[in-house]
């Protein structure tokens, strides 16, 4: 289980997301809900990619990546990605949810810019249940959150987005 998945499970207790929001996150799409944004902030803080002031720490992100990847080309692409996304620190967010807003901006930046690189699009070590083709949302939700939900008759299974 990756740290992101573990921390998502942990953070969901404080910032619960529904199945539709979970489906969006799984497909690297983003909800505007406060809980989704704050869940992202919680995860980024737990992995230390965001400091206590809610700022993205690209050096910590890169150091984490060095522990996971050894390919110099991929590491260089990640360094470029993190440098690009550090620009979210220049955006002024105000109010009690400013960390959540910055985390959402960071997640969007990481997703949008990683799409540009084939080697950054895929996570070969991602848990099999998450990659499964046509896995119903509730099965993912149950595995991730530990709670049951009801698939609506018109809810389509999630197809593998190529992560």
How far apart are alpha carbons 60 and 109 in whole angstroms? Answer: 17
Tens digits of per-residue pLDDT, 115-150?
766 556 544 444 444 443 334 445 545 555 444 444
Instruction: Write down the pTM of the prediction.
Output: 0.72
Going from the C-alpha of 23 to that of each of 17, 114, 148, the distances in angstroms are: 10, 19, 15
Tens digits of per-residue pLDDT, 65-92?
898 888 899 899 999 999 999 999 999 9
The full set of domain ranges for the chain reads: 3-126
Topology of the domain covering 3-126: Recoverin; domain 1 (1.10.238)
């Amino acid at each position: 289980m990756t740290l992101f998945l573990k921390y998502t499970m942990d953070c969901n207790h404080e910032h619960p997301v529904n199945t539709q929001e979970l489906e969006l996150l799984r497909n690297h799409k983003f909800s505007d809900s406060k809980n989704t944004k704050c869940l992202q902030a919680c995860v980024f803080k737990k992995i230390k990619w965001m400091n206590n002031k809610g700022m993205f720490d690209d050096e910590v992100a890169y150091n984490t990546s060095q522990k996971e990847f050894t390919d110099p080309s991929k590491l260089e692409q990640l360094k470029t990605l993190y440098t690009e996304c550090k620009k979210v620190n220049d955006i002024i967010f105000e109010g009690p949810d400013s960390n959540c807003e910055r985390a959402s901006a960071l997640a969007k930046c990481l997703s949008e810019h990683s799409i540009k690189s084939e080697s950054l699009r895929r996570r070969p070590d991602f848990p099999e249940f998450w990659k499964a083709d046509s896995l119903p949302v509730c099965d993912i939700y149950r595995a991730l959150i530990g709670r049951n939900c009801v698939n609506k008759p018109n809810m389509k299974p999630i197809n593998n987005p190529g992560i």
